[in-house]
């Protein structure tokens, strides 16, 4: 596969991952489908860090757009465009790493929930992992099913950002080959 087509494949694959990251992060603001928890500030810091919107979202979307243009015929489908795609892909790696770290912290620290009458993070700094022991999940009484909600969305962000890291790093390598060898985009007859 030539470097131009590889760029197109990478960009097209990044688009849905960006969308998934943004949606997951936005949904995390509304546990139990209610805006009340966000209004009252009863959401975790990791949600407020907006790893899915900023890191896995915007910081990967902008490079994806450039990477897409790099693979097409035109001003960016050349060695200079491939060189720039290395820098843009590096920005994508940084954004995806940010999203990855925030997701890991979100999973490690657990959700903010009501235990008896107090809002707390009962699994933070615990000796045993709540992820492996579902018998502790009963402690969170409100919002309903917050532990499963937290695990599902942060796990999705973790996988999504991991794939984004791999794809952006691959584009950095692809961009290097494209910069050295050219984008191998064939011109149609009659094009200048």
Position 191 pLDDT exceeds 50: no
Report yes or no on 147 lying in a domain.
yes
> What is the model's pTM?
0.88
pLDDT digit string, tens, across residues 93-128: 999 999 999 999 999 999 999 998 899 999 888 878
Report yes or no on 176 lying in a domain.
yes
Report yes or no on 51 lying in a domain.
no
Please provide the DSSP assignment of the chain as one string: --HHHHHHHHHHHHHHHHHHHHHHHHHHTSGGG-SHHHHTT-S-HHHHTTIIIIIIIIHHHHHHHHHHHHTSSSTTSSHHHHHHHHHHHHHHHHHHHHHHHHHHHHHHH---EEETTEEE-TTTT-SS-TTT-GGGGGG--BSTTHHHHHHHHHHHHHHHHHHHHHHHHHHHHHHHHHHHH---PPPPTT--
Report yes or no on 85 lying in a domain.
yes
Burial group, residue 100, by CB count within 10 angstroms (0-12, 13-18, 19+): buried
Calculated CA dihedral for residues 98, 168, 15, 179, nearest 10 degrees: 140
Give the total number of structural domains in the chain. Answer: 1
Q: Which residue has the higher pLDDT, 73 or 155?
A: 155
Report yes or no on 154 lying in a domain.
yes
Confidence of residue 80 (pLDDT cuts 50, 70, 90): confident
Report yes or no on 49 lying in a domain.
no
- Measuring CA to CA, how many Å separate 27 from each of 47, 79, 156, 159? 10, 40, 12, 16
Domain that holds residue 21: 3-27+60-181
Position 183 pLDDT exceeds 60: no
Report yes or no on 170 lying in a domain.
yes
- Angle (deg, nearest 10), helices 146-181 and 59-70: 30
Report yes or no on 13 lying in a domain.
yes
């Amino acid at each position: 596969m030539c470097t131009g087509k590889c760029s197109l494949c990478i960009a097209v694959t990044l688009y849905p991952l960006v969308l998934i990251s943004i949606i997951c992060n936005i949904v995390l603001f509304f546990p139990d489908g209610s805006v009340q928890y966000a209004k009252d500030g009863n959401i975790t810091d990791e949600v407020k860090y907006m790893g899915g919107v900023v890191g896995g979202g915007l910081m990967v979307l902008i490079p994806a757009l450039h990477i897409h243009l790099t693979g097409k015929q035109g001003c960016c489908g050349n060695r200079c465009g491939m060189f720039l795609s290395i820098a843009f892909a590096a920005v994508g790696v940084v954004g995806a790493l940010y999203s990855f770290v925030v997701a890991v912290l979100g999973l490690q620290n657990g959700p903010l929930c009501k235990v008896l009458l107090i809002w707390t993070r009962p699994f933070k700094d615990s000796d045993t992992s709540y992820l492996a022991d579902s018998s502790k999940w009963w402690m969170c009484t409100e919002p309903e099913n917050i532990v499963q909600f937290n695990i599902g969305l942060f796990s999705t962000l973790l996988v999504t950002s991991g794939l984004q890291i791999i794809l952006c790093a691959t584009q950095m390598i692809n961009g290097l080959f494209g910069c050295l060898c050219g984008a191998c985009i064939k011109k149609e007859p009659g094009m200048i």
